[in-house]
């Protein structure tokens, strides 16, 4: 069975697609939500717990891993799969976004970015070649182009200049990429919320040719309406036979609306970060378990969930764990939130296969609005 990196579309319903991404580290059903593994770990989760939620692919983080423990050290230890005990596909971001959002002091030039580590102040440089080399050393299944994600709002000419620099970096990233059977590299579409710039960026990337295409430059404060309207003008221009990855998105409602606009892959820190801050996602929206109203609530978080928190414990127990600042609280709630996100994506995929996505979407939205049980 060939392990050529390819995405096979199995069903469509409107703009939405249900498919399978075949990689050197196994297949992944799409649409898919990718849990974020920041420094080689999905925070507060063992990888057995991540596997139990049904996740097919996780994110690694070039920025964090290059600073600590260092990509060469991970390589000497057998690569990121072995290091973090995950044999499935791993997608690594190229690090530029994290530098801009985390790096202490940084200097951006037309060739890359120089910055100081937020950990120990040491000097580092990232550019298309170095980012691609680091992702190769980590043995990432999917490598992302080195790009710049401009802060919004910004003047169209600033967005245009930034996008064109990212397109030059995409070409250099492609030259630096070492092709291997079952591995892929994704270009990242930029252009802010400007339809013509988005179209120019898609053309620039498809002229280079990648195994998949991400939509970057969004989920940076533009709001859901502008994000959706940008998707409406961008996804139809993207190759139909390649996976589409919307970076950094999002809430359950963002995921539903984006799948319906033709997106296949997502990553977001929301379910894991929420798990550490007592915010639980359920079919009825979200609740904060620190709230006193849960002190005597003997019900499970969600009656539809098979995670450890919902099968073994009550809301009252989770409330207690967070009030007592017990480590088990973030562990159980992260597990639950990731299980909910995976269950949500499985349900959306099933509806695409059945051709019932419109009705399923209406049902999901009504439930989210109905409020807690
Ligand atoms: C949250 N919103 C958002 N995220 C974006 C991201 C980051 C996506 N998540 C990566 C993980 C973050 C945690 C550690 C592991 C990697 C973006 N990344 C790139 N390269 N380009 C974007 O335009 C880009 C745009 C983004 N918008
Ligand atoms: Zn649960």
The whole-number pLDDT of residue 192 equals: 98
pTM of the model: 0.98
The whole-number pLDDT of residue 227 equals: 98
Ligand 1 shell residues, CB under 6 Å? 36, 38, 59, 61, 93-94, 96-97, 144, 147, 149, 188, 216-217, 219-220, 247-248, 267, 269
Buried b / exposed e along 248-272 (16+ C-beta atoms within 10 A): bbbbbebbbbbbbbbbbbbbbebbb
Q: 35 CA to middle of ligand 1, Å? A: 13
Give yes or no for a contact between 242 and 5, defined as CB atoms under 8 angstroms apart.
no
First CA to last CA distance, the chain: 47
The residue whose CA is least distant from atom 4 of ligand 1 is: 248
Ligand nearest to the CA of 53: 2
Q: 339 CA to middle of ligand 2, Å? A: 6
267 is catalytic: yes
The whole-number pLDDT of residue 272 equals: 98
The whole-number pLDDT of residue 118 equals: 87
Q: Enumerate the H helices of 124-194 as residue ranges.
A: 128-137, 156-176
Specify whether the backbone of 95 is left (phi greater than 0), alpha (psi in -120 to 50) or beta.
left
d(CA 109, CA 244): 29
Ligand nearest to the CA of 308: 2
Q: Reading across the β-sheet that carries 16-23, which strands appear in turn?
A: 6-13, 16-23, 26-30
In ligand 1, the atom with minimum distance to the C-alpha of 92 is 16
Q: 279 CA to middle of ligand 2, Å? A: 12
93 is catalytic: yes
How would you classify the pairing of strands 106-109 and 112-116?
antiparallel
d(CA 123, CA 144): 23
The whole-number pLDDT of residue 103 equals: 63
Q: In the chain, which stretches have pLDDT less than 50? A: none
Closest of 300, 322, 267, 324 to residue 372, by C-alpha = 300
d(CA 157, CA 338): 39
d(CA 267, CA 77): 26
Ligand nearest to the CA of 91: 1
């Amino acid at each position: 069975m060939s392990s050529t990196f390819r995405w096979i579309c199995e069903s469509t319903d409107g703009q939405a697609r249900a498919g399978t991404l075949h990689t050197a580290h196994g297949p992944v059903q799409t649409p898919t939500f990718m849990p974020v593994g920041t420094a080689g770990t999905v925070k507060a989760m063992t990888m057995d717990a991540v596997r139990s939620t049904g996740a097919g692919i996780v994110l690694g983080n070039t920025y964090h891993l290059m600073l600590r423990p260092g990509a060469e050290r991970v390589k000497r230890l057998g690569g990121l799969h072995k290091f973090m005990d995950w044999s499935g596909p791993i997608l690594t971001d190229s690090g530029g976004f994290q530098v801009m959002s985390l790096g202490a002091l940084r200097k951006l030039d037309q060739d890359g970015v120089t910055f100081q580590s937020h950990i120990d102040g040491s000097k580092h440089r990232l550019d298309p070649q170095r980012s691609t080399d680091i992702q190769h050393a980590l043995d990432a299944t999917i490598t992302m182009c080195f790009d710049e994600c401009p802060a919004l709002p910004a003047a169209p000419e600033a967005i245009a200049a930034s996008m064109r620099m990212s397109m030059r970096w995409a070409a250099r990233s492609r030259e630096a990429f070492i092709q291997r059977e079952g591995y892929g590299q994704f270009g990242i579409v930029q252009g802010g919320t400007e339809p013509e710039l988005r179209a120019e960026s898609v053309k620039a990337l498809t002229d280079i040719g990648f195994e998949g295409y991400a939509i970057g430059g969004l989920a940076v404060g533009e709001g859901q309406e502008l994000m959706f309207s940008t998707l409406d003008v961008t996804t139809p221009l993207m190759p139909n036979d390649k996976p589409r990855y919307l970076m950094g998105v999002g809430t359950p409602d963002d995921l539903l609306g984006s799948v319906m606009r033709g997106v296949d892959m997502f990553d977001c820190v929301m379910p894991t970060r929420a798990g550490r801050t007592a915010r639980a996602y359920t079919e009825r929206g979200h609740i904060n378990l620190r709230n006193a109203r849960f002190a005597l609530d003997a019900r499970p978080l969600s009656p539809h969930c098979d995670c450890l928190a919902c099968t073994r414990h009550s809301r009252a127990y989770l409330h207690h764990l967070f009030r007592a600042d017990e480590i088990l609280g973030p562990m159980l709630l992260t597990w639950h939130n990731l299980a909910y996100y995976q269950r949500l994506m499985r349900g959306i995929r099933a509806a695409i296969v059945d051709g019932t996505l419109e009705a399923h979407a209406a049902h999901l939205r009504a439930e989210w609005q109905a409020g807690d049980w």
